Chain A
Amino acid sequence: MTPTLWIIFAGAIATYCTRVGGYALISRFDLHPRAAAALNAVPAAVLTTLVAPSFLNAGWPETAALLTSAIVSLRAGMLSTFFAGAAVLLLLRNFAG
């Protein structure tokens, strides 16, 4: 087996451990209320890190798209939110550059 294949398989096993390991670890203990509060914050924390740096690199079409999605999300579901932001981005990038 080549080193590349070895790395891919070991990387896959390591990744699967992270995917299966969290629950395997915490299900052995009674969850402290602080730990429960921390877990409750996981979606907001991680999703923020996936979005925040894109504000740094955003020009005005990107900023307008992000703001559009944020505003639409207050009233509408995920699909409308996504497509509204994407439409603004496409329009501004292609016709207002």
Chain B
Amino acid sequence: MSGSDPHDGSATRRDLLEGAKLAIPVVISVAPFGLLFGALAVGKGLTVFETALMSAAIYGGASQMVGIELFGDRIAPWLIVLSIFAVNFRHLLYSAAVGKHFAQWPRAQQAISYFLLTDPTFAETERAAERGMRTSFAWYMGMSVPLYFTWLATTVLGAMFGRLITNPQAFGFDFLLPLYFLGLLMSFRKRALWLPVVIASALASILAYKFVGSPWHVSLGAIAGVALAAVIGPTERNGDARP
């Protein structure tokens, strides 16, 4: 870690635990999707090793789902790669928005942190920074590392034992992630332009979901909200949100 001061150890440990606490609902919500992805990938003809490698190296659930959908269909490899890129395009926005909180860390730590940048870790970092909490590398790792290994481990379990899951609906697994993201979304409600952005993105994503299909509704819906904010432009509260 960045322990410049020998007395920093307890602060580092506290940051790690703080981050790990934030990972609890995400780990619970993401695990069923890891199992599902693992089971589907093996069903599509990937080996357990290839499935695990995909989760370890790409580490982006929606894009991996799209990837394996296309694997079986005699589609040119470069088109599959392009589709993975397109689904992950939103990370460009995350990285642009969150980068200033990483900027003072050593290069290697930044490189690792960007690799682990996901929907929840991005949003939790923005939320913590907005509330003036410390977003140290240890804090970020405390949150991100459990999530990474949960995704990897559940992918492997799904790939090996996926056929054993019979009724995932009863446990509510399919709906935990929306609940978690709704909680996160609500926690940003004091931000400038929150309501207009939410309305624009909700309408655009629902339209895109109906007429274009999942997962493209994420990028299209996000662009609508972000574009609206750019058109309305800076407000007084914007200044508060980014000191």
B21 partner residues in chain A, CB cutoff 8 A: 79
Of residues 154 through 196 on chain B, the ones whose CB sits less than 8 Å from some CB of chain A are 169-172, 175-188, 191-194
| B179 interface neighbour in A53, A56, A86, Cβ under 8 Å | A86
Most chain A CB neighbours (cut-off 10 Å) among B25, B111, B183, B227: B183
- Chain B residues with CB under 8 Å of A93's CB are 169-170, 172
B: contact size bracket: 35 or more
Inter-subunit contact A73/B225 (CB<8 Å): no
> Which B residues are in CB contact (< 8 Å) with A65?
172, 175, 179
Q: List residues of A (28-67) whose CB comes within 8 Å of B's CBs.
A: 33-56, 62, 65-66
Given contacts A40-B229, A51-B178, A73-B183, contact A45 B192 (CB under 8 A): no
Selected from B24, B115, B172, B198, the residue in CB contact (under 8 A) with A89 is B172
Within 8 A of A (CB), among B122-173: 122-123, 126-127, 169-172
Please, how many angstroms separate the alpha-carbon atoms of A4 and B111 in the complex? 26
Q: How far is the CB of A3 from chain B (nearest CB, A)?
A: 6
Given A33-B234, A79-B25, are A46 and B187 neighbors across the interface (CB < 8 Å)? no
CA of A25 to CA of B102, assembled, Å: 15
* Complex alpha-carbon distance, A52 and B179, angstroms: 11
Task: Please tell me if B108 contacts chain A, counting CB pairs below 8 Å.
Answer: no
The answer to whether B84 has its CB under 8 Å from any CB of chain A is yes
Separation in Å of the A44 CB from the closest CB of chain B? 5
| Contact A11-B67, Cβ < 8 Å, known A41-B193, A85-B183, A90-B171 | yes
- Sample of 6 further A-B pairs with CB below 8 A, known A44-B194, A47-B182: A19-B95, A42-B226, A46-B221, A49-B202, A66-B182, A82-B25
- Interface, chain B (partner A; CB < 8 A): 21-22, 24-25, 28-29, 46, 50, 53-54, 57-60, 63, 67, 71, 77-78, 80-82, 84-85, 88-100, 102-103, 111, 114-115, 117, 119, 122-123, 126-127, 169-172, 175-188, 191-194, 197-198, 200-202, 204-206, 209-210, 214, 217-218, 220-235, 238, 241-242
User: Residues on A close to B: CB < 8 A?
Assistant: 3-12, 14-27, 33-56, 62, 65-66, 69-70, 73-74, 78-79, 81-83, 85-86, 89-90, 93-94
List the 9 closest pairs (A to B, CB-CB), nearest first: A23-B99, A45-B225, A22-B95, A22-B96, A49-B221, A41-B229, A12-B57, A73-B186, A81-B183
